[in-house]
Amino acid sequence: MEYERCYIYTPPETDERAPKRRRINKANSQAQLQERIQIYRETWFHQQERIQATLEEADRVTLEKIINFVSASAQTDYAEPVSIPTGLVIAGPSIASHGPFFERLGRKIKDETNSAYFLLNSGDSSNLKTFLKNLIKKAMSRVDADDEDDLGRIGSSSRNGPKLLDFDLGHLQEWHARSRADRIVVAIQDSEAFDANLLVEIIELFYSWLDRLPFVLLFGIATSAESFEDRLTGKAPRYLQGQKFNVTQSDEIIEKLFSATIASTDVSLRIGPNLSRRILERQKDHVQNVQDFSDSLKYAYMSHFYANYPSLFLKQDITFKDLPPDVFEATRNLPSFRRRVEDMLDSGRAQEVRKLLDSDQYLFENIVEHVQSGQEVLSALSTAGMVIVRVRQALQMSAQVPLSSIWIRAASGEMMGSPLLRETMLSIKKAPSDRLAQLLSSLEDLEGIDFPVDLKAYRKDLDELNKDNTTSTPLRSQHDVRNDNLRTTVVAQKVLLSKHKAALSERDKAYSELVGHFHDELDTYFTTAFIDPRALFLSEILMYDLKSPHTEVFQPKPRFAIERALASPHDYLGCDCCGDADGGRDADAALSATQPATAIIYRLYLESGSLINVSDLWSAFNALAGEEEDAESKTMALFQRAIAELKYLGLLKPSKKKIDHAAKVMWKGL
């Protein structure tokens, strides 16, 4: 075939079956997929709306400040402009969310002030010329959206005479004369990625045009305003005058998003504690990125509905007729169903169990009922989480615990008996009356939520007690430490410390009773609310908590995958010849000639230092993999291909230090 430049490779056909084959399941895994996708869409739609609303709310204050700044900067007379009004927008290190932020900002600026807004980033601005071209293009396309071929040639007059070059700010001037915008806001999204000299050039140029064009500059900054200023050289800082705006920190936004989505009280599908913890930890440790958070949520929702047949039951107003019998079979296989059956058998309800197993209709009714009640239990759990947060806030407890961590603990069933809960309950007991009043009103604000404690009654009683309180000091409960006196007595040369309750006034006693009652009632409430949700019947339908596809999709390990494949190829090849001889335990250590050449070289590579003598490597390889004397050229070919492959993978590169050596570039396990 050597004379052909290229050819079609047809592998020799063999009758042998592939060594490993997937089991083909006859059951249709795609059953009712369309319906499930539909339920997914509806459920996710609500979540997405919440996410959007939360994001907008989080940015609102900053956006308003920036808009006020922009509208205040209108230059009424162009006589002698002193400096360009400049906003430094400290947007934080979560670079991926800068784009959406600046887009929202732009929309708002255009809506609420009479300004033009142009967003530019480093990608389309490698030098001053392209920067200006892009700026002008953005301005022109705004007006001449309909006649595109006119782009760059302005007005009929210039068609015959000299025309402006396409990076001449004169275009912007003509455009501005027509559009009559009060100011031209130019936002530079990623100021760090801009070359410092380019920034200076832009600033100087804009300043020079400031008597004709009312520029306002906005710089997106990931680090800090100071480091931005330090990069500007020469007179550039003199030409800018402005303010700094802090965008909400992304961990705060993530916390808000968590409360609005995962820990919210009315969602039909919940993300379980393990997955939630994973998502949050990733945000804290690796990326701070709102988009990523909502993506992982979305992916979890998709995984649940796409891959879980019984998720059909989350459909609203579901009827028995719509359902194929398979779905009941699937439900009967759920672990929580089995648990339930066993429990029922233990309590001697064999008759019902029989019915559950035999009658689809009966099972259906049962499922509908339990899905409904399970939802209620879960939303009660979320409410209880919120109550704890409110209590801790109102009592001004020192350790700030965010809702996310409380919710995760509650959802993994760890809340009952936890130190956190005990501490919270204790401080309720100790709360003086003013704090209690705050607590009551803060709980009353929890609107539209099923909360069994009758707050109004307590409020009334408290008011009653307070009515004849003439002093300004609040009422104290008997557990309040301030009511304890320490008394020191010396008895037989030993100091005795003894606590004595200070005498409580009548009203304080009455108050203590009130608080005690409140405490007990809350305690019962928490005990009923904080159940372990994973023990719920049908929890597999109500809650998605699988780690597996999430980690593979959002946290892949590319380097590890390559290293592992090279180090133990037999795991992937599934052949009998390599490694597995002695039970596979020590397979990692065995180095045999049957392995692919690249894997062999890789093993030798791992054993060598940072400079590898290629000739030594060859002798080692030849000793291992070489067959007979005369086959050396074949072995050499294998060797060279293996080296080339390692080089291609970026593990090896030629060294400048020694001509016959290669440099090791990557170490295993990093």
Which residues here bind other proteins, judged by CB under 8 A?
86, 88, 90, 92-93, 95, 128-129, 132, 157, 160-165, 167-169, 190, 192-193, 204-205, 208-209, 222-230, 235, 237-238, 240-244, 246, 249-251, 282-288, 555-560, 563, 650-651, 653, 665-667, 669-670
Whole-number Å distance between alpha carbons of 237 and 200: 9
Cβ(312)–Cβ(581) under 8 Å? no
- Least CB distance from residue 78 to other proteins, whole Å? 15
Strand spans (E) along 44-137: 84-90, 115-120
CB atoms under 10 Å from CB of 352, counted, come to 15
Q: Which is nearer to other proteins, 208 or 524 (CB)?
A: 208
- Least CB distance from residue 81 to other proteins, whole Å? 14
Helix, strand, or coil here: 544?
A: strand
- Least CB distance from residue 206 to other proteins, whole Å? 10
Q: Which is nearer to other proteins, 165 or 502 (CB)?
A: 165
- Least CB distance from residue 167 to other proteins, whole Å? 5
Handedness of CA 112, 115, 116, 120 (dihedral sign): negative
Q: Which is nearer to other proteins, 540 or 563 (CB)?
A: 563
- Least CB distance from residue 97 to other proteins, whole Å? 11
Q: Which is nearer to other proteins, 37 or 665 (CB)?
A: 665
**Phi, then psi, of 185 in degrees rounded to 5:** -90, 120
Q: Which is nearer to other proteins, 314 or 408 (CB)?
A: 408
End-to-end Cα distance, the chain: 44
Cβ(173)–Cβ(210) under 8 Å? no
- Least CB distance from residue 156 to other proteins, whole Å? 12
Residue type (1 letter), 256: K
Whole-number Å distance between alpha carbons of 268 and 265: 9
Instruction: Provide DSSP, 134-174.
Output: HHHHHHHHHH-SS-GGGTT--TTHHHHS----TT-THHHHH
Beginning with the edge strand found earlier in the chain, give each strand of the sheet holding 661-664 in spatial order: 611-613, 661-664, 652-654
Specify the DSSP element, H or E, that contains 372: helix 360-394
Instruction: Provide DSSP, 216-273.
Output: EEEEEESS-HHHHHHH--TTGGGGEEEEEEEPPPHHHHHHHHHHHTTT-SS-SSEE-H
- Least CB distance from residue 480 to other proteins, whole Å? 30
- 579 contact partners, CB below 8 Å, separation of at least 6: 568, 570, 587, 590, 592, 595
Q: Which is nearer to other proteins, 170 or 474 (CB)?
A: 170
- Least CB distance from residue 669 to other proteins, whole Å? 7
Cβ(533)–Cβ(539) under 8 Å? yes
Q: Which is nearer to other proteins, 132 or 406 (CB)?
A: 132
Cβ(171)–Cβ(137) under 8 Å? no
Q: Which is nearer to other proteins, 95 or 620 (CB)?
A: 95
Closest CA to 388 of 404, 403, 371: 403
Q: Which is nearer to other proteins, 232 or 453 (CB)?
A: 232
- Least CB distance from residue 64 to other proteins, whole Å? 15
Q: Which is nearer to other proteins, 166 or 580 (CB)?
A: 166
Cα dist from 606 to 603, 646, 653, 657, whole Å:
5, 12, 15, 20
Whole-number Å distance between alpha carbons of 254 and 367: 34
Q: Which is nearer to other proteins, 92 or 374 (CB)?
A: 92
- Least CB distance from residue 178 to other proteins, whole Å? 18
- Least CB distance from residue 618 to other proteins, whole Å? 23
Q: Which is nearer to other proteins, 81 or 242 (CB)?
A: 242
- Least CB distance from residue 574 to other proteins, whole Å? 24
